[in-house]
Structure 1
Amino acid sequence: MFIRNITLAFTLACGALGSATAAGQAQFMTGGVGMEERGKMLASKEDYNVHMTFATRGSGVYRSDVQVEIADNKGRVYLNANDAGPLMYANLEPGRYRVTASAADGQVLRRDMVVLPGHTKELYFYWSEPATIVE
């Protein structure tokens, strides 16, 4: 209980979202907008076994408007976060998962991943540039 509260307090202090480690939920942190916040995220990176980065293809502009859902192969949701990014770190038990990442403009990307004991999983999500209207 004490460690979970420290983790949650640290996560909130970083300007990131956090999730309690209740049964069926993954512990996570998200953020990285600005150099200071990015530094705090990177300092905590090794505490998590899944690392995700959200950006726009071509320009490389980071995205911080992402809805993320991580579910196992039976559809049980372990993580659900709004306005995630541009970095997101999570701790998941070993197993198979599907990550669904939805950008604010409606583009949805999915990745299947296997989390192995003692290993880190890196995932990169790149969305197309949003359509622009030329008049």
Structure 2
Amino acid sequence: MEQHGVSYVSGGDDEAGMQSMLAIAARFNVRLTMVDAERGNPLGGATVVVASQEGRPVLHTTAIGPLFYMRLKPGAYRLAVGYQGRDQMRDIIVAGEPLEMTFRLPVNTLEDDWLLCGTTPCPRR
């Protein structure tokens, strides 16, 4: 895929997808891995936003798997990776060596949205 001149790919949902992504990793100079912060499980569906140092949008997409690779021109960027409305931002500098980063993202499970109580009506949170 390509957006604003940035080539990118995402995947790795299963073993075959993971092996395919690892086989092409060397073609990309920024490689992200997204995992559930609490359990460490691979996490697909995170948003990836890249802007230039001046704030110009470079890339805005959703990762379909836990691995997200992109090829950025050398320079300084602001990278934001988010899941369920919570973003983590990092300033990065793309130079000669590839960047590999793991984002540990908090995940709300269905159980987190339940409030159990023994009174009627339940008190509001």
Structure-1 residue corresponding to 2:103: 125
Does 2:57 match 1:74?
no
Matches within 5 A, 1:85-100: 85-100=65-80
Deviation at 1:53, TM superposition (A): 0.5
Structure number having the greater strand percentage: 2
> Taking CA–CA contacts closer than 8 Å with sequence separation of 6 or more, which of the two structures ends up with the larger relative contact order?
2
Amino acid at match of 2:98: T
Give the 4+ runs in structure 1 shifted more than 3 A.
Answer: none
Structure number having the greater helix percentage: 1
Amino acid at match of 2:94: V
Could you list the runs of 5+ residues in structure 1 that have no partner in the other structure?
A: 1-17
Structure-2 residue corresponding to 1:65: 45
The number of residues matched between the two structures is: 113
Could you list the runs of 5+ residues in structure 2 that have no partner in the other structure?
A: 117-125
Q: Which residue of 11, 24, 28 maps to 1:31?
A: 11
Q: Are the counterparts in 2 of residues 68 and 84 from structure 1 also a CA contact under 8 Å?
A: no
Identity score, percent: 27
Which of these two proteins has the greater Rg computed from alpha carbons?
Answer: 2
Give TM-score, length-normalised by structure 1. Answer: 0.77
CA distance in 1, matches of 2:107, 2:56: 31
Alignment RMSD (CA, Å): 1.5
